[in-house]
Structure 1
Amino acid sequence: MPDVAQITVAPERAAQLTRLIRATGTETRTTVSPLSGADVATIPVSTDQDVLDAFAAARVAQLTWARTSLRRRKKALLRLHDLVLKHQDELLDLVQLESGKARAHAFDEVLHTALTGRYYGRRLARILGPHRRGGVYPVLTSVRQHQRPKGVVGLITPWNYPLSMALVDGLAAVAAGNAVVHKPDSQAPLTALAIIELMYRAGFPKDLWQVVSGAGSVIGSAIIANADYICFTGSTATGKRIAAQCSERLIGCSLELGGKNPMIVLPGADVEKAVEGTVTAAFSSAGQLCVSIERIYVHESIYARYRDALAERLSHLAFGANADWEVEMGTLVSPAQLATIEKHVADALDHGATLVSGGRARPDIAPWFHEPTVLEDVPPAALCFAEETFGPLVSLYPYRSVGEAVQAANSTVYGLNASVWGPTRRARKVAERLRAGTVNVNEGFAATFGSIGAPMGGMKESGTGRRQGAEGLLRFTETQSIGVQRLMPVSGPAFLSRRTFRSLLTVGLGLLRRLTTRA
């Protein structure tokens, strides 16, 4: 059976990837794998001047790329789809090495990335191609709507999904005709660099996607100061600061931020299926997922059965920090993440919560591993009642009426994802009452997350803008309308007085109103 020693990256391969980073200084840093705590690679650190140089090169490349046909862009997107699937073994190794997640969850990233390339490849012309719009005068006025690229997009991506989050937003940006200056998270740069290398092989110009490295607090301001649009995935606190900086320059931004995502289990739900769904919804990637479930509301008629079945299922969950496909949960990514969940668990217990399952760190599995943990009787005063944990911790709450459950689910500053389990028709009606950007019925998050044609993003303090679908592409464009007027000006022909023209136009509008009403 594969073990942690087999998940490595050769030093020469790491050096080959890091050469893709624009960094001229001597400063470096060393990344560490959460699988073992061992060093992974030495990463060069970019300066503010490197960021400026990256934008200068990207702007030159973007001018040529913007004139590249949609057909050529389509071919590059579809070639990338094939390359991702072909080279998935190395990508899986790098995702695990840098994030610590289980191999099956790493494959979710490979799949999401490939599907994104295929979706935009197949629909690019349909979304971006010129569209006819109704003119002020039929026949005499023709209007076409065009989508123009923003220019250079600043992309700041997180460590928790180092493959798909490194690519899917930026891929839509370049598909729309933009260039990208990308700062991957400091914890997981090699995964991002590997997929960017595949982009070059797929046919995207090298200068089109610039990579810089360093702490966001150091080079982030330089990125925001030079970009034409910002795309950020991360914490709500950081997202607010970025939004404020973007507003000063009057540039747009899309932000996918935090969540305290609820699940509602309705009376009549299949308890066994709901329990199995909870394992995936709450503990995939060790709960380090923006759309992960952290609050579960279960009808009182099935609460005890659900709670006990969940505890039983978790007692047999397969843990590991290796390449075994049967592992169901990997490790947390850092000491900071472990400290957060330990703090939230201890605080909840101090406030009177009851431990249902888990509750312990497990350094025997990996340095920062923590058991999947379930609490009940969590009071509002506990930190984990309202704060995002971003780890394998969920709280259970019984409810009497569905209205009570909906109100509790919506009582949060966040609104990213939600899940409803129960008879489909009833669950769908409950889903429509929830204030979240995505809601999944009889599924935790994958029904929307994996459906690339469905827009995905947050309400309230969970962010602004949407990735995926047509919206995920159009956010990186400016809309331009071009109108052509024929035979006479919009103000009327020269041989008619304005008063006469007004009278004729009034009669004509009345006729059109009656004709369209009958139609």
Structure 2
Amino acid sequence: MFLPTPSCSRLIPMATDLQIAARKVASTNPSTGETLREFECASEAEVQAAVARARAAQPKWSELGARRRVATLHEFQNLLHKKKSDIARLITREAGKPYVEALLTEVLVVLDAARFCIENAYSFLRDEPVPHRNLAMKTKAGRILREPYGVIGVISPWNYPFSIPAVETLAALVTGNAVVLKPSEFTSLVALELASLLQAAGVPKNVFQVLVGDGATGAAIINSEIDKLIFTGSVATGKRVAQIAAARLLPIVLELGGKDPMLVLDDADIETASSGAVWGAFANAGQACLSVERCYVHRSPYDRFIKACVTKTKRLRVGNGLDAESDVGPMIHERQLRIAESHVEDARARGARVLVGGSRLPGLGPNFYAPTVVADVTHEMRIMREETFGPVLPIMQFESDDEAIRLANDSEYGLAASVWTRDKARGEALARRITAGSVMVNDAVSCFGISEAPHGGVKSSGLGRTHGRLGLEEMVRIKYLDSDRLPGMKKVWWYGYGESFSRQMEGFLDLMFARGLGARMRGALRSAGIVTKGKL
């Protein structure tokens, strides 16, 4: 996405009508290079009009109430289940991942996210009483209200083109918001299918809109009159988005990727851990923010672990995701492939061993890169510092638990991590010391599929959370509503100050907070008459 420097007064320079009309994006099958469809980019004026329509439609959607919105999500869930295979095949055609991964990591995740919203939305949105123990305020009855922001802007990526925008959209819709979604320009077809399903389920067309376009379209959304933004993308772009949002105090959620570490302790089950590493590094061709991008292995099982990973990697079948025999599909495009390739070559030049893979597979198609295992890497190499986002498993040795934690935390990222050990208590103790939004013990990546679990990171991995109750909290404004039980009584803290009132208040504080029963009793006597004292 193109965004200007923070000093710019506008997100993008004004374009002529001719330039706007000429802007197009293409959906391309990354396995074959086939152009699936071309789209004209939504212009700045079209973005503004869509947001205005969303704002006009949102109050009626909110007024439907939680039960009717939940019923709509239930219908969406039913429709998605019926069309699961068609949706998965579309995801594979446009994003490249194996069909079975599209089912598991996209369709299943969204079906379960719908289940979570259906089961929890009504209780979540119900007024929440606020009990309190302040004796001075005992005539007060308060509660927390959760109200929709209004119009939520969602800018989503290409790597999980269905599950990421759908999970965020369902949470926004069920809490009463309207949504304007700008998908990645590489996966527009999947986003349009999401819109088709939601509208067929009963979501009004102006309550959920998809704006297809390039970076300028995304920038126009950020600069529009939305009430909150959910952005998933790179750290560099996310930082610029945050600066622009800060200028008008636009609330944001940022999911900006990761460099997730995997710690294999000396007592780990090597057979299981090596399988977890291979899947965690190569699922979706390594193009996941939760991918295993750094693998640290204790020196005692280091050689055995590497041998197991190499053996299992050699058995992986790389090919078109629509082929049922394929384990690993293509990368999304040439630019992403070059990043992975450059990281491997930098590591090789600095002394790392490339044990399997490390090259393109042009015979399969334009964007295929062999699953790669790299041993003896160090933190001086780009492959251990920068997000690779490709099918590469770099492995480094460590001597002690303390060193493993130091290495794991030696990163600007803090999205997720994993610890592998036969000792659950030891694994959980180390997990608490890792700076990350999620840490799994004896598994990796799959926490994204737990709808109740929050997803998000720390440090440069972003701000805020999606998924679960915390994800729902991101979609609402909090309002405290308070009513007085004795509306006809003047309050003791109102005007009518004076020396006697000061002494009474000192006594009242002693009554509530002094140490010892005697001191509190004396305070009670000093505060006598405070309620009946005349007020202005």
Q: TM-score, normalised by structure 2?
A: 0.87
C-alpha displacement at 1:26, in angstroms?
A: 6.8
2:443 corresponds in structure 1 to: 443
CA distance in structure 2 between the aligned counterparts of 1:343 and 1:214, rounded to whole angstroms:
29
C-alpha displacement at 1:506, in angstroms?
A: 3.0
The amino acid of 1:318's aligned partner reads R
Q: Find 2:86's aligned residue among 79, 87, 90.
A: 90
Q: Find 2:42's aligned residue among 17, 27, 46.
A: 46
- Any residues of structure 2 matched to 1:220-235 within 5 Å, and which? 220-235=219-234
1:128 corresponds in structure 2 to: 125
Deviations along 1:331-369, one digit per CA (max 9) or x if unpaired, are: 101011111111111121112211111111112223211
CA distance in structure 1 between the aligned counterparts of 2:490 and 2:461, rounded to whole angstroms:
48
- Any residues of structure 2 matched to 1:319-338 within 5 Å, and which? 319-338=318-337
- Any residues of structure 2 matched to 1:28-177 within 5 Å, and which? 28-107=24-103, 108-135=105-132, 136-137=134-135, 140-177=139-176
1:286 corresponds in structure 2 to: 285
Q: In 2, are the aligned partners of 1:176 and 1:474 still within 8 Å (CA)?
A: no
- Any residues of structure 2 matched to 1:394-413 within 5 Å, and which? 394-413=393-412
Q: Cα 1:304–1:231, aligned 2, differ >3 Å: closer, same or farther?
A: same
Q: In 2, are the aligned partners of 1:265 and 1:274 still within 8 Å (CA)?
A: yes
Corresponding position: 1:506 with 2:509: yes
C-alpha displacement at 1:267, in angstroms?
A: 1.0
- Any residues of structure 2 matched to 1:284-433 within 5 Å, and which? 284-423=283-422, 424-433=424-433
Please give the secondary structure, in 1, of the residue aligned with 2:86: helix
Q: Which moved more, 1:489-498 or 1:321-330?
A: 489-498
Q: Which moved more, 1:462-471 or 1:504-513?
A: 504-513
CA distance in structure 2 between the aligned counterparts of 1:368 and 1:495, rounded to whole angstroms:
79
2:9 corresponds in structure 1 to: none
Q: In 2, are the aligned partners of 1:54 and 1:211 still within 8 Å (CA)?
A: no
Q: Cα 1:315–1:229, aligned 2, differ >3 Å: closer, same or farther?
A: same
Please give the secondary structure, in 1, of the residue aligned with 2:63: coil
Q: TM-score, normalised by structure 1?
A: 0.90
- Any residues of structure 2 matched to 1:270-285 within 5 Å, and which? 270-285=269-284
CA distance in structure 2 between the aligned counterparts of 1:265 and 1:150, rounded to whole angstroms:
43
Deviations along 1:285-342, one digit per CA (max 9) or x if unpaired, are: 0000001011111111100000001100111112220423442211101011111111
C-alpha displacement at 1:501, in angstroms?
A: 5.2
Q: Cα 1:492–1:288, aligned 2, differ >3 Å: closer, same or farther?
A: same
Q: Cα 1:267–1:381, aligned 2, differ >3 Å: closer, same or farther?
A: closer
Deviations along 1:146-193, one digit per CA (max 9) or x if unpaired, are: 011111111100000011112111221121211111111100011111
1:21 corresponds in structure 2 to: none
C-alpha displacement at 1:499, in angstroms?
A: 4.2
The amino acid of 2:56's aligned partner reads V
C-alpha displacement at 1:486, in angstroms?
A: 2.0
Please give the secondary structure, in 2, of the residue aligned with 1:193: helix
Please give the secondary structure, in 1, of the residue aligned with 2:206: helix
Deviations along 1:258-308, one digit per CA (max 9) or x if unpaired, are: 211100001111100001111221111000000101111111110000000
CA distance in structure 1 between the aligned counterparts of 2:187 and 2:472, rounded to whole angstroms:
25
Q: In 1, are the aligned partners of 2:51 and 2:224 still within 8 Å (CA)?
A: no
Deviations along 1:103-141, one digit per CA (max 9) or x if unpaired, are: 121112001111111101110122221100024447521
Q: Cα 1:493–1:486, aligned 2, differ >3 Å: closer, same or farther?
A: farther
C-alpha displacement at 1:44, in angstroms?
A: 2.4
CA distance in structure 1 between the aligned counterparts of 2:41 and 2:432, rounded to whole angstroms:
46
Deviations along 1:355-387, one digit per CA (max 9) or x if unpaired, are: 111111112223211111111222433221201
Q: Cα 1:179–1:512, aligned 2, differ >3 Å: closer, same or farther?
A: farther
1:474 corresponds in structure 2 to: 473
CA distance in structure 2 between the aligned counterparts of 1:178 and 1:501, rounded to whole angstroms:
49
CA distance in structure 1 between the aligned counterparts of 2:243 and 2:224, rounded to whole angstroms:
12
Q: Which moved more, 1:27-36 or 1:427-436?
A: 27-36
CA distance in structure 2 between the aligned counterparts of 1:387 and 1:179, rounded to whole angstroms:
36
Q: In 2, are the aligned partners of 1:99 and 1:159 still within 8 Å (CA)?
A: yes
Q: Cα 1:489–1:396, aligned 2, differ >3 Å: closer, same or farther?
A: farther
The amino acid of 1:94's aligned partner reads L
Q: Cα 1:511–1:75, aligned 2, differ >3 Å: closer, same or farther?
A: farther
Among all aligned residue pairs of Structure 1 and Structure 2, give the percentage whose two residues are the same amino acid. Answer: 36
State the aligned residue count: 491
2:452 corresponds in structure 1 to: 453
Structure 1: runs of 5 or more not aligned: 1-23, 515-519
C-alpha displacement at 1:489, in angstroms?
A: 4.3
1:13 corresponds in structure 2 to: none
CA distance in structure 1 between the aligned counterparts of 2:475 and 2:166, rounded to whole angstroms:
14
CA distance in structure 1 between the aligned counterparts of 2:332 and 2:235, rounded to whole angstroms:
19
CA distance in structure 1 between the aligned counterparts of 2:86 and 2:408, rounded to whole angstroms:
40
CA distance in structure 1 between the aligned counterparts of 2:471 and 2:490, rounded to whole angstroms:
38
The amino acid of 1:498's aligned partner reads F
CA distance in structure 1 between the aligned counterparts of 2:433 and 2:155, rounded to whole angstroms:
32
CA distance in structure 2 between the aligned counterparts of 1:313 and 1:336, rounded to whole angstroms:
27
Q: Cα 1:300–1:236, aligned 2, differ >3 Å: closer, same or farther?
A: same
Q: In 2, are the aligned partners of 1:439 and 1:445 still within 8 Å (CA)?
A: no
Deviations along 1:380-416, one digit per CA (max 9) or x if unpaired, are: 3322120111001121111110110110010000000
